[in-house]
Structure 1
Amino acid sequence: MPVKLVNTIRTKKGFGEAVAQRFATPKSVASAQGFIRMEVLINEKNHDYDEVKICTNWDTKSDFNAWFTSEEAVNTHKRVAKEEDSPMLGNDVSIYEVKYEHYPAVPAK
C-alpha cells in the first residue's frame, strides 16, 4: 500500500527558506527503490517559528524503511543533527496510508 511521510520541521523565525533550500537538489532518496516523489512545503505565517514540511511518497512503507535505515540516509541525518547553531527547533514525522488519489481528468494545456 502506498504511503506518504511528512517530516514537519520547525525552524527559528526567518530560517524556513534556508532549511527548505537544503532540499532543492535531489539526494540519495531520489534513486531509492519505491520512492515516488518529494514535495517541500513552507509556512512562514506563524509568529514564533517557520514550518517546513518534507513530504515523500513511497510505493510501500517497507521501501521507505529500507531507505531510511540505509547507511547513506543514516549518515545524512547524523550530519544534520550535529550542526551547531542549527536553526531547527524540532521536528515531527507522520506516516499516512494513501487511500485515494485523483488526477486531472483532462491533461492541462
Structure 2
Amino acid sequence: EEKDKIGLVGVNGAGKSTIIRMLLDRERIDGAKEIYDKIFQLLEKEQNHLLNRYENDEIDYDSYVELSSARYNEYQEYVKELALAYDNELNEKMAFVINANLETF
C-alpha cells in the first residue's frame, strides 16, 4: 500500500546501508569490490616491501611482524574513517528524504 513502511534489520556490517544506497541509486552494486581491490593492492604492495626487507636481513622477524601489524592498523583506521564519512553523508540525505516524506503525510 502507499503508506506501508518496511524496516531493514541486520547486524553491523551486514550491508543495510549499502542496500539503501543501491535502492537510492547512490552506489553501483560492484562499487565495494572496487574499493576493497584498491585497499588490498595497497596492503599487498606494503607487505611485499616489508617481506623483501625481512628476506634481505634488513629487519628481524619481530620488527617485520610489528611493522606489518602497524601498517594494517593504519589502513584499517583509514577505511573506517572513509566508511564513517560516507555513512554520515548518507544519514544526512536520508534524514532529508524522511523529513520530506513526513511532510507529505
Regarding TM over 0.5, the answer is no
Q: Comparing both chains, which one has the higher relative contact order based on Cα–Cα distances under 8 Å and sequence gaps of 6 or more?
A: 1
Q: What is the TM-score of this pair, normalised by structure 2?
A: 0.31
Higher-strand-fraction structure: 1
Q: What is the TM-score of this pair, normalised by structure 1?
A: 0.30
Higher-helix-fraction structure: 2
